[in-house]
Structure 1
Amino acid sequence: MFQEARPIWPTGLSEAMNVTSGIRARFQADPRTPALVRVTASSRYRLYVNGLFCGHGPATGPHGYYRVDEWELTPYLSGGANYVAIETAGYNVNSFYTLDEPSFVQAEIEQGGRIAAATGSASQPFDVFVLPERVRRVQRYSFQRAFLEAYALSPDVHDWRTSDAQPASPAQADAFAEKRLLTRRVSYPRFAVAAPRTVPATGTFAKAAVPPPPWRDRSIAGVGPDFKGFPLEGLALVPTDELGGLAMTGWNRNDRRYEGQALRLRAGETALLAFDRDLTGFIGTEFTVSAKSRIALTFDEILTEDGDVDHLRLGCANVIHIACEPGTYAFESFEPYTLQYLKVLVLEGDCRLTGCGIREYANPDADRGTFSSSDEGLNAIFEAARESFRQNAVDVFMDCPSRERAGWLCDSFFTARVEADLTGLSVIERNFFENYALPESFAYLPEGMLPMCYPADHNDGIFIPNWSLWFVLQLEEFRDRGGDEATIEALRPRVEALFRYFEGFRNEFGLLENLESWVFIEWSKANDFTGGINYPTNMLYAAALEAAGRIYGAEAYVEEAAYVKQTVREHAFDGSFFVDQAIEDEQGEIEITDHRTEVCQYYAAYFGIADATELPVWFDSLMRDFSPSRDKDAPFVADIGGIHPANAFVGYYLRMELLSRQGLSAQLLAEINAFFGKMAQRTGTLWEHNRTEASCNHGFASHVARALYRDALGIKSLSRKRGTLTVAFADNGLASCSGTMPTPDGDIALGWRVEGEAIHYRLSAPPGLTVEIENCSGKTLVRER
């Protein structure tokens, strides 16, 4: 992929924690001739051309592999001398976001077929620096991500990006052996800049009279051999300790529109800025200080009950610390963060804030699909689903774009569906599976087991065996979405090894028992019943066996699945509901408990252990007596028939699928409105739970877009592999609905309206799709041209 460039890093620092390097090339360019820069790195980089932001990366790759980006330079070039500057943060700590691999950067500039500069080149190298402005010895941002950002700035700090100025003494660079390189494949973000909507408040603060105990999250207290970072006693500063010792002394809540007006703040003063929705990207500020100053930027997705920012709400340090000499600055965070509210605090000195914004880091293809209905609440929920997807699917399916940025299995099963629906592609999903296929093995995990999230480091050896089974279910759907057979075949050894691993936990009944590590059903009481024989896990296991059998034509897997399903039916159904667990007593006998959860019932129905035909009374109760809203006041208290309530994920998402299967679209849409409506109104994104103590921007939650396409609009199913489209009209309570769903061959466009006892509709689909129309509405269908 590279013609001349070699991987390099400042000498002796490739394994040092939290080092930021800068490389710069000056070259003569003809702005009429196309030019590009190829770049990859470990861990993260950002690219400037003539002082203008151009890109951030690289796209995520697995251990030992690095994806190469190619950024178009031509729009940024001028005649004569041009400067390309690349900053790279080498973290060298284990995390769920960036991999603990030695730091390097590899880049080259090409124009007109000629290499103008290349790292490691003897004749036309990049200049190399260790950038001094980012403070190295700081606390981790979170358990799942690397370091908090802290800076010591001077007014000329960025001059090296646009001139021959030197930010530090030039550094010698080590050149390394060639890396294994991969294509990026996924689309490049657009990096649109969003400005705040309002300034809700300004205020004053001071040291608290009685400061609370300092925050000692595992990201600080847990540093050691298995969790890398700088020990507390060796930190240059601890911003969360300083901020934790402050208290607000007054607020001026004169909410006003933000239109770029200057905000003047002195020491002990703060300003709160609000964006129109939850956003993810790079926080930018422009400001002037007349004296030596220290500024803290804190942020979050929501405000506390008293209208403030709690920068520790998510269990991560939502703080950027800036110390600066007198002068004028244009600052932008190196890493992306998620926020709706930004709080600027002047700890020392002063600040004249003249600009603020977020450079978005999001999927650029998510706006291809459209949806509009007669229900404005559903329309807002669809847009919130789109927003959640675009921020959680840049180059891998993430759980959240904030505290983790981690590619979790199970979450990915649901988000991958949304990629296909909103973008017409499965490119991120292909990368996702390629990341799992390429490594020779996964360190710290038992042979055959798949990481619960990846690419990530799992030094503590923890894994979720259930999530590996969702991997198999997703792989089958990837094939139906038109996923390439080479990737599917490359994963056969992984799948076969996985089931060999599970064979070691089959008991005398053929069921999985006493699984290792973190057996996870969902965040509800169900997680208390995972020891011994966990029936929801076995239901999932049977479904994964069936899927593997269909993918690879392995009849033995299908037969095993049938046996497991039948055994679960016989053991787990108590005459009214399915129980969650059986355990071995002191005499070695298996005792079936009376532990019953709502989510266990959803597992049983979704994975075909029983259905409405076999157990009509049970199934009717499941659809009628349970709902997401029944547990809003007491979320983990057993109530209906001793059945412990479910939580959002995966329980309510499986419920939505079941309501759809039964044709209960009106009920489904009503439950969607009730559950997701407040989220769409409050943050413009969809949440991890139905409460705000966790992430308010979660990838799997975008799956509601699939439900709206299917159960409101009527695009019931699309198989790219088989070339079939099914459109189903139902009595769902809407007066009208329209939308487009993109495909690689063109858009599917559907619109309909109810007029009396007829549904008038228009439908267009790409050539080659076989279209089937189902009418369950009880009304006459009238097709219009």
Structure 2
Amino acid sequence: MTDSYFTQSAQSAQSEHFERAKPVWLDGLEHEMNVTAGFRAIVEPDGEEPMLLRLTASSLYRVHVCGTFIGHGPARGPHGYYRVDQWDLTDALKPGRNVIAIEVAGYNANGYYVLNQPSFLQAELQSGSRIIAYTSADNGHFTPFRLDERIQKVQRYSFQRTFIEYYRLKANTRDWITAADAPVAAGPCSEAAPKALLPRGVSYPAFELRNPAAVVAEGRFEAGYPPESYWRNRSLVSVGSGLAGYRIDELELLVSDELQETRTVERRELSERYEAAETRILQEGRFAILDFGLNLTGFVGVRLTVKKPAKLYITFDEILSGQGDVDFLRLVCVNAIGYELEPGQYDLESMEPYTLRYAKLMVMRGEVAVEAVSLREYINPDTETASFRCDREPLNEIFAAGVETFKQNAVDLYMDCPSRERAGWLCDSFFTSRAEYVLTGAAAVETNFLQNYLLPQRFAHLPDGVLPMCYPADHDDGRFIPNWMLWFVLELEEYAGRTGDRKLVMQAKEKTDRLFNYFRTFRNEDGLLENLQGWIFVEWSKANELVQGVNYPTNMLYAGALSAAGRLYGDGDLLAQAEQVRAKIRDQAFDGTFFIDQAIRQVGKLVQNRETTEVCQYYAFMFGIADPVSHPKLWDLLVRSFGPSRQKENLFPHVYPANAFIGNYLRLELLSRYGLGRNVLEQMEGYFHYMAAKTGTLWEHMSERASCNHGFASHVVHWLYRNALGVRTLDHATRRLELQFDPSFLSRCEGSLPAGGGTIRIEWRKEADTLYYSVAGTNGYEVHIFPVAGYCLREETT
């Protein structure tokens, strides 16, 4: 297959072509940091003809029609490329004059979320077959002007993302969005050079409005209490030639310091149900904490009335910390939005998406009547037909948390987290891609993700042949993870198997060739990688401290990537190299019981460091250095004595424990690979249920010390479909479904998976020695049912 179903269906219906629009920006400001611009067109609907808005921008845009939210974007592309969105405005139009309002935040700051590229907007309105408004330096009927209400010289939100949001507003500041007769101070704009355009490639996000579930606390705070030491993250103090932003002495205000200077002096715990119609009065020095019920990602909104000039902060986090409070700095980012408000009524919503379960409203001065608090979700909409349910409620909650985690981390590419970074990381993507396949029946987001890596000829600040650890991102500091490049190859092979997209795979060959050429310069006399450059990353554990010299987990991964590329491109030399690496690792790293992590060269000779980690054992089995037949004692030891209860029992204390990423995931994948489905399901409860219960999403670490919503963790749905529902293989390219039910842990299970434009529904239950099952909606898929030892299979028709 040259072009796959996935590649074709991933493209949005619209073309990326503009008929008349030119890329424009406020004259002379295209390179200035943190400038917000407005573009407005006044139009009248022409009969029954549909009206479409086609646009792209750098860095981010938001669209309203007469004050009604339409959309946010664009989907991210690589350096020098811009993905085009097309919004149907027809249903939002009213009789008479309509305001089409576009806000664009032009950041011009490097990070891992949006690229440091000159600001612009390119947009045109199409009514029927006519272009009735378009951006240009002359009169294209879009009026450009600067929006000063968002304060420009503020601190960065995080090292990975650009600037926080802080606003000074009057009651009529936002009238330009809602009222056709509202005056605007038009400013000159200039055209930029033509842009390389790409289709959006993925579905448009879902933007459902969510309200809090409860009010959990209220009280009083006081300002003017400096902490013993102020938070001084690199995003604040390392601004300079390598990190764009405003230095502390340039800031108009320093939000993180101001909020640290507050202390709670009175607090009342509540368990009130949140009522959207109920107004809550907050006077100066008062706060309220609201609970959305689970971790959500989107745009934070508040509707309120201000009687006298007020200053309001909305701080937020995924969990409550300390004495049940919101720690706006817990995640090493500034989870705060600030407003200075003149008297009047306001309907406010953040320009940027954030992640939170809890929101804290703090009135620094004045008084506000809070009429509604909301979060407009910003999520992948393609999981609606995916479902799962069994007779173990913890597993049902883990599945729901996996779906939530995926939706929030896969809007336009695979992200590590939707909060602090919103970055597209390799390795994480290997696991998230499997979740997308079973939850959406396609690989649209993965296609975008991989395409972003393949289009650039080279990556600035990185050695030739090196792929960025996350992308689209700016890597001005030259940092990279060599291991993640190897995971790219592993994912590419699975992508080929999922989609049959040989065109993209062949486009990737040059990148993979250069990648292996780069690694070849670090091979020692044994063919093993030694003294790699960059940030050598095995996992978040002791293993990351044993990476210098010859790191055996890295070499195990290297062998796996060599094999994957060899199979993918029919290259026997790569396959032979992989086997040579495996043989050397077996010879050098196995101490008779465990595989050790490291060897260091001393006086010209490699000397084995005897330290060993749990995750090293999983790398060995994952990448073909060992298997249950070749190393039965070690395999039996791992199965029986390791896992979520191991640390409580203090077994093998000299073997450093694994963490969530990626050790626990490799463990469960191996158990699943070798047919230990009961172990997988039991240990999933131990690893993940407490996460699902606390935030409704799944975490970066086993503890809550970092992100509580990490994209790779959505991989749990892959195991639940495979080991609980029984979906051994679902191949959309060949339309083949293989089922192998495992009733050893569950008594019943049911679920649905999107497939070929329809939905396959599977149910099974056991009664005595009979297993009853049904499969519906196969829509031309060839179904194979494997026998179940000790059970008679009986099909039930639906």
Q: TM-score, normalised by structure 2?
A: 0.96
Corresponding position of 1:430: 447
State which drifts further: 745-754 or 771-780: 771-780
Q: 2:726 aligns with which of 697, 714, 739?
A: 714
Whether 1:518 and 2:530 are equivalent positions in the alignment is no
AA aligned opposite 1:653: Y
Secondary structure of the 1:291 match is strand
Q: 1:681, CA displacement in angstroms?
A: 1.0
AA aligned opposite 2:58: S
Query: Is this contact kept in 1: 2:732–2:756, CA < 8 A?
Result: no
Find the aligned partners of 1:392 and 1:291 in 2 and give their Cα distance: 40
Secondary structure of the 1:296 match is strand
Change (3 A) 1:207 1:81: closer
Find the aligned partners of 1:208 and 1:597 in 2 and give their Cα distance: 48
Secondary structure of the 1:628 match is coil
Find the aligned partners of 1:14 and 1:656 in 2 and give their Cα distance: 49
Q: 1:740 aligns with which of 730, 752, 757?
A: 752
Whether 1:353 and 2:370 are equivalent positions in the alignment is yes
Change (3 A) 1:163 1:367: same
Corresponding position of 1:778: 790
For 1:272-283, list aligned pairs within 5 A.
Answer: 272-283=289-300
Find the aligned partners of 1:624 and 1:737 in 2 and give their Cα distance: 26
Corresponding position of 2:212: 196
> Which string of whole-angstrom CA distances, capped at 9 and with x for unpartnered residues, describes residues 497-550 of structure 1?
000000000000000000001000000000010000001001101111111111
Find the aligned partners of 2:562 and 2:542 in 1 and give their Cα distance: 26
Whether 1:150 and 2:166 are equivalent positions in the alignment is yes
Corresponding position of 2:267: 251
Q: 1:444, CA displacement in angstroms?
A: 0.6
Whether 1:78 and 2:94 are equivalent positions in the alignment is yes
Q: 1:41, CA displacement in angstroms?
A: 0.3
Find the aligned partners of 2:769 and 2:116 in 1 and give their Cα distance: 63
For 1:219-368, list aligned pairs within 5 A.
Answer: 219-260=235-276, 261-368=278-385
> Which string of whole-angstrom CA distances, capped at 9 and with x for unpartnered residues, describes residues 83-116 of structure 1?
1110000000100000000000110000111001
Query: Is this contact kept in 2: 1:63–1:455, CA < 8 A?
Result: yes
Find the aligned partners of 1:152 and 1:210 in 2 and give their Cα distance: 25
Find the aligned partners of 1:432 and 1:755 in 2 and give their Cα distance: 45
Structure 2 unaligned runs (5+)? 1-16
Corresponding position of 1:2: 18
Find the aligned partners of 2:609 and 2:444 in 1 and give their Cα distance: 45
Q: 1:367, CA displacement in angstroms?
A: 2.0
Find the aligned partners of 1:558 and 1:68 in 2 and give their Cα distance: 41
Corresponding position of 1:651: 663
AA aligned opposite 2:558: Y
> Which string of whole-angstrom CA distances, capped at 9 and with x for unpartnered residues, describes residues 709-748 of structure 1?
0000000122334443221122331110011111224322
> Which string of whole-angstrom CA distances, capped at 9 and with x for unpartnered residues, describes residues 536-576 of structure 1?
00110111111111111111111111111111111111111
Query: Is this contact kept in 2: 1:448–1:498, CA < 8 A?
Result: yes
For 1:540-689, list aligned pairs within 5 A.
Answer: 540-585=557-602, 587-631=603-647, 640=652, 642-689=654-701
For 1:471-490, list aligned pairs within 5 A.
Answer: 471-490=488-507
Whether 1:467 and 2:484 are equivalent positions in the alignment is yes
> Which string of whole-angstrom CA distances, capped at 9 and with x for unpartnered residues, describes residues 132-159 of structure 1?
1000000000000000000000000111
Query: Is this contact kept in 1: 2:210–2:377, CA < 8 A?
Result: yes
AA aligned opposite 2:20: E
Q: 1:384 aligns with which of 401, 404, 409?
A: 401
Query: Is this contact kept in 1: 2:542–2:613, CA < 8 A?
Result: yes
Corresponding position of 2:524: 507
Query: Is this contact kept in 2: 1:212–1:245, CA < 8 A?
Result: no
Find the aligned partners of 2:777 and 2:601 in 1 and give their Cα distance: 56
Q: 2:552 aligns with which of 527, 535, 539?
A: 535
Change (3 A) 1:295 1:63: same
Corresponding position of 2:14: none
Query: Is this contact kept in 1: 2:205–2:378, CA < 8 A?
Result: yes
Find the aligned partners of 1:351 and 1:81 in 2 and give their Cα distance: 33
Q: 1:483, CA displacement in angstroms?
A: 4.6
State which drifts further: 33-42 or 203-212: 203-212
> Which string of whole-angstrom CA distances, capped at 9 and with x for unpartnered residues, describes residues 475-501 of structure 1?
111111115222111111001100000
AA aligned opposite 1:662: Y
Q: 1:590, CA displacement in angstroms?
A: 0.6
For 1:39-54, list aligned pairs within 5 A.
Answer: 39-54=55-70
Q: 1:595, CA displacement in angstroms?
A: 1.3
Secondary structure of the 2:133 match is strand
Corresponding position of 2:141: 125
Query: Is this contact kept in 2: 1:132–1:168, CA < 8 A?
Result: no
Secondary structure of the 1:621 match is helix
Q: 1:774, CA displacement in angstroms?
A: 2.0
Find the aligned partners of 2:383 and 2:608 in 1 and give their Cα distance: 47
State which drifts further: 676-685 or 294-303: 676-685
State which drifts further: 738-747 or 471-480: 738-747
Secondary structure of the 1:515 match is coil
Q: 1:726 aligns with which of 734, 738, 748?
A: 738
Corresponding position of 2:85: 69
Query: Is this contact kept in 1: 2:493–2:568, CA < 8 A?
Result: yes
Find the aligned partners of 2:759 and 2:744 in 1 and give their Cα distance: 24
Q: 1:79, CA displacement in angstroms?
A: 2.2
Q: 2:710 aligns with which of 698, 702, 706?
A: 698
Query: Is this contact kept in 2: 1:725–1:769, CA < 8 A?
Result: yes
Find the aligned partners of 1:31 and 1:319 in 2 and give their Cα distance: 45
Find the aligned partners of 1:483 and 1:770 in 2 and give their Cα distance: 18
> Which string of whole-angstrom CA distances, capped at 9 and with x for unpartnered residues, describes residues 451-480 of structure 1?
000000000000000001000100111111
Q: 1:31, CA displacement in angstroms?
A: 5.6
Secondary structure of the 1:775 match is coil
Corresponding position of 1:178: 194
Change (3 A) 1:731 1:560: same
Identity of aligned residues (%): 49
Query: Is this contact kept in 1: 2:300–2:375, CA < 8 A?
Result: yes
Q: 1:641, CA displacement in angstroms?
A: 6.0
Query: Is this contact kept in 2: 1:93–1:228, CA < 8 A?
Result: yes
Corresponding position of 1:448: 465
Find the aligned partners of 2:135 and 2:444 in 1 and give their Cα distance: 30
Find the aligned partners of 1:187 and 1:767 in 2 and give their Cα distance: 23
Q: 1:639, CA displacement in angstroms?
A: 5.4
Whether 1:420 and 2:437 are equivalent positions in the alignment is yes
Secondary structure of the 2:703 match is coil
Find the aligned partners of 2:387 and 2:757 in 1 and give their Cα distance: 17
Query: Is this contact kept in 2: 1:42–1:101, CA < 8 A?
Result: yes
Q: TM-score, normalised by structure 1?
A: 0.98
Corresponding position of 1:757: 769
Query: Is this contact kept in 2: 1:372–1:737, CA < 8 A?
Result: yes
Whether 1:766 and 2:773 are equivalent positions in the alignment is no
Secondary structure of the 1:253 match is strand
Find the aligned partners of 2:69 and 2:390 in 1 and give their Cα distance: 39
Q: 2:113 aligns with which of 73, 97, 110?
A: 97
- The Cα RMSD (Å) is 1.4
AA aligned opposite 1:115: I
Secondary structure of the 1:640 match is coil
Find the aligned partners of 1:507 and 1:126 in 2 and give their Cα distance: 62
Structure 1 unaligned runs (5+)? none
Secondary structure of the 1:106 match is strand
AA aligned opposite 1:86: I
State which drifts further: 726-735 or 208-217: 208-217
- What is the total number of aligned residue pairs between the two structures? 780
Q: 1:123, CA displacement in angstroms?
A: 4.7
State which drifts further: 572-581 or 717-726: 717-726
Query: Is this contact kept in 1: 2:32–2:108, CA < 8 A?
Result: yes
